Chain A
Amino acid sequence: MYKVLVAICLATTAALVLSAKWSGSREGRNTFVFNNGLEVNSLDPHVITWKHDIRIANALFEGLMAFRVDPPAEGQRMGQLALTNGVAERYEISPDGRTYTFHLRGDARWSNGQPVTAEHFRWSWQRVLTPATAADYANLMFTIAGAQAYYHALADGRPASFDEVGVTALDERTLEVRLENPCAYFLDLTAFPPFFPVYPPLLAGHVEDGHPAFFNGITTYKDAWTNPDQIVTNGPFLLKEHGYKRQMVLEKSPLYWDRRHVALDRIRALAIEDFKASLHAYESGNCQYIDALPLPALRALTDGTARRKRADFYPENSFGTYFYRFNCQPTAAGLPNPLADVRLRRALALAVDRADIVAVAGGHQQPASVFIPPGLTVQDANGHPAPYPSPTGQKFDIAAARKLLVEAGYPGGRGLPELRLMYNTGYGHEAVAQRLQAMWKEQLGVQVSFIVKDGAAFGAALKKKELKEWHLGRGGWFGDYRDPTTFLDMFISGNGNNDSGYSNPRFDDLMRQAAGELDQTRRMDLYRQAEQLVIEQDAVILPLYHYVEHLMIAPEVQGAWPNQMGYLVLKQVAIQAGG
């Protein structure tokens, strides 16, 4: 009977093993294997937001413009991100900076051989601006004239015509875009997935049926159009396989216009979530690129105790900041909010030693006194660079902090109710929160208690508009495009991400002024004043550090240079012969 049982077990196992699909193909020379970290949330470029989604979208699709990473300068480890022409062969910008005319290349093709037309872009952008599509980044398109009005009309169930929106297909290969205001980063946006074209006839075959009346007859599409046997793409690579939470296989597209410059024949994007498992895969040669390391390995590589420096280890200064929000609303947790007083907020900010926080958080981050990470440079219409001049930001000055606390009426923290600090579980947030708690108690006598929530509950509590239960809420923010607005927009009164509930007409005014400013140097200076206002004077947030990512890149891999936006441009990756 035992034998019967074992026989049944073995037979079932064998049957299960045999029912698998065996790829079994041998890896060619020109195959690049990297760990994408997470399973993509979607392959639909219009609804994605995450880095791991964007990476694959950039390989499968192409916008009017595209990103390129230039090699690091001599002695540097970080590459430079630059814009290059994508589907648009060339473009013209009107002198007032409000009208862009894109000329599409004649040899831009979909993977089914059809030409990519201006109308495809117009259709795709209309789809993003349709609320039922639920595109998280639809608001990036509000730079286009009439787009915001169109979106909100549809969201409120009012009729609206897309002809009122400034996107016109002048002919098959010419797309004219009129903007609400001059927008220095508009070309950057056209290289961003929400602005990518999708193939309209394909989606027409996947219309979602039975959606309820509130969609007002607006069409939504079933996700199945992104399956490998269905999807039609226009980028350098084709989707061959999509093993859910396992790997994605991409192959070079024979129809891509710039195929001569695509070196890889095949890409395998793994979806190993666990940092340790990912490192194991790298160290055992099963993968050539990983972008996250477990903390112990990271410490060993960064604290100088490593026996020798590893040439395949790359720190990457990210375009992101770790911070705490102050609740600026008049009440918090049902009581008058002491943090509505700017003096208390500034006192708390002045008492924080960022170097100490970074040591607790792992030791490899850059301490932050401002919100916008350093190193941001925009380009004006003529291609001249205009660097963003960061303000000084928040200082570390205990004496000044104590003085402000006295002014606010809480000498030595007396009379101040306990402040409630909210963070989400995991990722070492707890250690940072405890360090802050200790600093404020020791230096200022301010008592802080914790509200700890898991990811999903945390987001809901943070976003709650009225009656927030927290005084301080943890935050992490990565810029989406290379412009100060990607960080500063969230402080505008009533902005959807203004979770502090902050409102200052002077700030709003500076932001408005800057949006209309054509001279990039002057525009950058206006944003510097705006950041100075929210960080130094009003202390709306408490920036703690700028993120630093860490990559391991196998020596044979070329063209995958780290860069501030964290882009891995698969089109330009190559495997060096003999590697």
Chain B
Amino acid sequence: MSRLIARRLLQFPLVLALVYVATFALMAAAPGDPLVGDRTKVQPEVLEQMRQRYRLDKPWPVQMAYYARAAAAGAMQGRIDLGNSIQYKGKPVAEILGLTAATWPEGALRVSLTLGMLALTLAVMAGVHLGIWAAVRQNRLTDHLCMAVSVVGVSLPTFVTGAVLIMLLALLLPIFPVGGWGSLSQMILPAITLSLPFAATIARLMRAGMLDVLGSDFIRTARAKGAPDRAIIYRHAFKLAFLPVLSFLGPAAAAVLTGSFVVEQLFAVPGIGQHFVASVMHRDYPVILATVLVYAVLLIGFNLLVDLAYFFIDPRISQEELR
């Protein structure tokens, strides 16, 4: 157990470094210039100054080393230094993404995490119950209905479900405000929209897992002993049936927590997801790097958490198997 954690923690910086180099190489390979962009009016002298200021006149490994050095120097002093944005004229990237203590309360990362956690909670609650319900009524109308709903949930893109929700619950029946961020009521619609595809996937995984476990010997034994259905499902079968959902939750959590460009655009949520797309469009190298790193940290972190959870839940999984 502790060896697992130690090993994963040691891998952590290595994986991050690989992600960092790969991202930098890809950025350097992409055509385009972060300074010109669609600002076609700028004078050549100004471009030259900017190019020097952001060290874009240097080859990319040199640029990379410079960013890494600044980040390391910042980390030594307890600061997060991810360089300065090019698009937002010298604004520190850590402030743009809301990674510093001062910018956290209003920051993009916190907004995305909040929306993501809310969506994740909704998705788990709805998905798990829907899945169990479908499984215990296998091949009956309820099952088919549940699965039909989940197929719709998986296949409908969020820009459709979000737009429908806005039309129904914000414009036709003005229950919720449209767009913006700040109050709890503004979080509901985007959270539902974001959670739908995840809820649907969880429902399908849960149903499959439950059916699998319900057919196993120990459940038959429990039934033979006359245990009530409820106890069989929730006490005996649930733990094992939940495992596929759990492995899905690791990457799903990372994806849902780092924000969705579509949902953020649709509901005007100032989260981190839009930076993924916008920074690439602008070739804003420091912001691209930072968003990729944030995503990588979350992804690695959640996978580690899932592995640990496995360890606690399933006694059959030994430390050996986790290697």
Contacts and interface: CB of A to CB of B under 8 A. Distances in A.
Interface string B105-135: 1111010011001101100110010000000
14 contacts: A6-B125, A13-B114, A20-B105, A41-B87, A44-B89, A138-B43, A152-B45, A223-B91, A244-B96, A246-B106, A277-B265, A453-B32, A457-B31, A461-B31
A295 B308 CA distance: 50
Interface stretch (A128-136, A363-371, A390-398, A522-530): A128-136
Contacts of A278: 268
B36 A460 contact: yes
Given A131-B49, A245-B108, A496-B44, A277 B266 contact: yes
B291 to A, nearest CB: 13
B276 interface: no
B270 A246 contact: yes
Interface string A441-471: 0000000000001111111111100000000
A360 to B, nearest CB: 21
A139 B43 contact: yes
Interface of A: 1-2, 5-6, 9-10, 12-13, 16-17, 19-23, 39, 41-42, 44, 47-49, 131-136, 138-139, 151-152, 155, 211-212, 214, 220, 222-224, 243-246, 270-274, 276-278, 280-281, 283-284, 286, 424, 453-463, 475, 477, 496-497, 499
A133 B118 CA distance: 44
A136 B43 contact: yes
Contacts of B242: 1-2
B88 to A, nearest CB: 6
B189 to A, nearest CB: 11
A134 B282 CA distance: 18
A529 B270 CA distance: 50
Contacts of A16: 110, 113-114, 117
B264 to A, nearest CB: 9
Contacts of B31: 453, 457, 460-461
Max count, chain B CB within 10 A of own CB: residue among A13, A133, A223: A13
B288 to A, nearest CB: 11
Contact of A20 (B84, B103, B114): B114
Nearest to B181: A246
Interface of B: 30-34, 36-46, 48-50, 52-53, 84, 87-92, 95-96, 98, 103-108, 110, 113-114, 117-118, 120-121, 124-125, 128, 163, 166, 170-171, 174, 177-182, 184, 238-239, 242, 265-268, 270, 274, 281-283, 313
A244 B95 contact: yes
A455 B38 contact: yes
A280 B179 contact: yes
Contacts of B166: 280
Contacts of B177: 284, 286
B220 to A, nearest CB: 23
B180 A281 contact: yes
Contacts, number: 199
Contacts of B52: 212, 214
A476 B104 CA distance: 38
Nearest to B125: A6
Given A6-B121, A284-B177, A286-B177, 11 more contacts: A6-B124, A9-B121, A49-B42, A131-B49, A223-B84, A243-B270, A244-B96, A244-B106, A244-B107, A457-B31, A496-B45
A295 to B, nearest CB: 15
A211 B54 CA distance: 10
Contact of A222 (B40, B42, B90): B90
A42 B32 contact: no
Contacts of A220: 53
A19 B109 CA distance: 12
Contacts of A155: 45, 48-49
Given A16-B117, A220-B53, A456 B281 contact: yes
Contacts of A10: 121
B37 A245 contact: no
A529 to B, nearest CB: 25
A274 B274 CA distance: 11
A456 B37 contact: yes
Contact of A21 (B50, B87, B105): B105
B179 A151 contact: no
A284 B238 contact: no
Nearest to B96: A244
A153 to B, nearest CB: 11
